[in-house]
Structure 1
């Protein structure tokens, strides 16, 4: 009960001090399960958050992509060390990239050398200001659009040299899935992940889908840059200093076309399903042993502008044992307009928590405080 009370205090703090409209925590610890909320699902009506809401999981979808490719490797359909040009000749032979040197493993571990796609000027110009978002919120991205965007800025390093979080790499990975199988990415995720795990409330969002099944929380965003910002100067180092005044009212972004996320993170799910998914991938009950080991062969993220204190596997992260007192925790996380979800648990899959806010990432402290409350682990302390 102490952990439950401590987590509830963190949820209340997130609403009162961090400015989260509504937040939920869903926990499975052996036979113990519980659900807690704070704040609201709808600012106008005051409707509270509730269990089994449908949520956009953001970059948590990367783990679904990795799981499909690892399953294909287990069947002998590919090797993670195949180069991109093996399956998609020429797709990455542009902008200073070399598809003969970038492998599927590089794509899934964010070590391909591809730049951080979310910071591309084309993306910033469409969505990074309130006016731009309102103008472009229903734009549809094609696969050709996403693959072109992936190489639209120069490499950040040689393949395997460093970690750089890149949606573009996962878009290429999704295209490889479709090339190898002859099926859609959504169909392969359904066949190889959703059905085997019994994720009844999980799906890859269709291209033109702007709505969610009931129940769902409204989504709110204040993640915009100041008016007049020169978006061409946007970098991983300076973006936070360019954000608009936090006193600005939130914008309801519930309806938005998220096709540009695709295989980098366009999965809709629930906290309950995400607990089952992460528990399976953390513990090895979905993939064969050889592929499970590859998923959890991690690389350092030090020096990147991603989540601190974590190492990255294939589509999933593991907190650095040096900052968790040797107690490993594995999980996924993702943030998109009006949604932030993280799901973290023990490697045996026995103790997992999923937390969702109906606004984007605001502070890593929310994640770290929840982990300390539920697992008794002070990340980074």
Structure 2
């Protein structure tokens, strides 16, 4: 792969210029593979990042939720056009929401009208500052608590009207999976996605798990508000201006309770397993054709304060062809405290790159530069 030298240069740049402690990239292109690293897995010891590390995949877990619901639809257990009230009566009938109008498809495509869940005071006041995070890093969220958080602020729009990235929609989707099957969300994901694909290093984290098996990188975070900033004043428009100043040492957030992620993203995995999972999602090897088509029926994300030049499917995304010069590239990704992951590849699965950093998302530049280095596509140029 002639372009892997270019990918390595981007990895080195990300560490030197963006301040990422450590980054890995794994490429699968047909029968060929490549693995590159830059930076460190542990700032204190200087140990390098290595293949096979376990990490938290953040909102990449949304694709596991979507795949599980689509598998249930294929069995005739539910329909994505079912309303939420058909399965969870009254959960949405507060604060101006209408559970008779919001469908499962709305939840999975982030078009339900639910507000951006991370801005809920119940969440932001716990984790917005360094001191708050340290005090609450082991807090456990029950499903009932998460469902209340999901509707704790008024709608941002009518169902189907607009895109707004909302973890709360996936909390509700996870609860529907449990209601329909009578099993836990984690068990259903394992049964319908993890085991069929042979993802031997992937699982939904339990509500009590706070660590990772070996090997794993340390996770580091700068994702905090300035001292004195009021979390209640944070909006999708102004949050970046309220973040703490650059130059402060990162906080080690490796050990924490991640039950806040639930069905919106609480999967532990490896880059190799995510390449296999992503390949199954792009080729349609896991789901029947009808469900596969639904997964990749996309909506515009314009105005939703999300990644530029992309359209959203059901838990995954596709770059706008106008931004890629007509080439189809698909992806999935997510950020969590001390962890950022994305995978991007061609639609039929033979060429994929998976990238992980041991700090959360900082900007779209590393992703776009890596895509250009690996695929020769300059996003948005």
TM category, shorter: over 0.9
Does structure 1 residue 293 correspond to structure 2 residue 299? no
For 2:32, the equivalent position in structure 1 comes to 32
CA drift of 1:70 comes to: 0.3
Q: How does 1:1-381 map to 2 (within 5 A)?
A: 1-381=1-381
Q: How far, CA to CA, are the matches of 1:120 and 1:12 in structure 2?
A: 36
Q: How far, CA to CA, are the matches of 1:232 and 1:192 in structure 2?
A: 39
CA drift of 1:240 comes to: 0.1
Q: How far, CA to CA, are the matches of 2:58 and 2:184 in structure 1?
A: 19
Q: How far, CA to CA, are the matches of 2:327 and 2:310 in structure 1?
A: 13
CA drift of 1:53 comes to: 0.2
Question: CA offsets, 1:278-323, max 9 Å, x none?
Answer: 0110111110000000000000001111111100000100011111
Q: How far, CA to CA, are the matches of 1:176 and 1:335 in structure 2?
A: 24
Q: How far, CA to CA, are the matches of 2:136 and 2:127 in structure 1?
A: 7
- Provide the alpha-carbon RMSD of the alignment: 0.5
Matched residue count:
381
Q: How far, CA to CA, are the matches of 2:48 and 2:190 in structure 1?
A: 31
TM norm structure 2: 0.99
Aligned-partner SS, 1:175: helix
CA drift of 1:207 comes to: 0.5
Q: How far, CA to CA, are the matches of 1:328 and 1:169 in structure 2?
A: 27
Q: How far, CA to CA, are the matches of 1:304 and 1:168 in structure 2?
A: 15
Q: How far, CA to CA, are the matches of 1:111 and 1:187 in structure 2?
A: 27
Aligned-partner SS, 1:23: strand
Question: CA offsets, 1:159-188, max 9 Å, x none?
Answer: 000000000000000000000000000010
Q: How far, CA to CA, are the matches of 2:118 and 2:2 in structure 1?
A: 40
Q: How far, CA to CA, are the matches of 1:121 and 1:238 in structure 2?
A: 16
Q: How far, CA to CA, are the matches of 1:265 and 1:380 in structure 2?
A: 28
Aligned-partner SS, 2:340: strand
Q: How far, CA to CA, are the matches of 1:380 and 1:209 in structure 2?
A: 40
Aligned-partner SS, 2:322: helix
Q: Mind listing any 5+ residue stretches in structure 2 that lack a counterpart?
A: none
Q: How far, CA to CA, are the matches of 2:247 and 2:2 in structure 1?
A: 34
Q: How far, CA to CA, are the matches of 1:50 and 1:137 in structure 2?
A: 27
Aligned-partner SS, 1:268: strand
Question: CA offsets, 1:191-244, max 9 Å, x none?
Answer: 000011000000000111011010000000011000100111110000000011
Aligned-partner SS, 1:335: strand
Q: How far, CA to CA, are the matches of 1:223 and 1:248 in structure 2?
A: 11
Which 4+ residue blocks in structure 1 deviate beyond 3 angstroms? Answer: none
TM norm structure 1: 0.99
CA drift of 1:2 comes to: 2.8
Q: How far, CA to CA, are the matches of 2:324 and 2:74 in structure 1?
A: 32
Q: How far, CA to CA, are the matches of 2:157 and 2:190 in structure 1?
A: 34
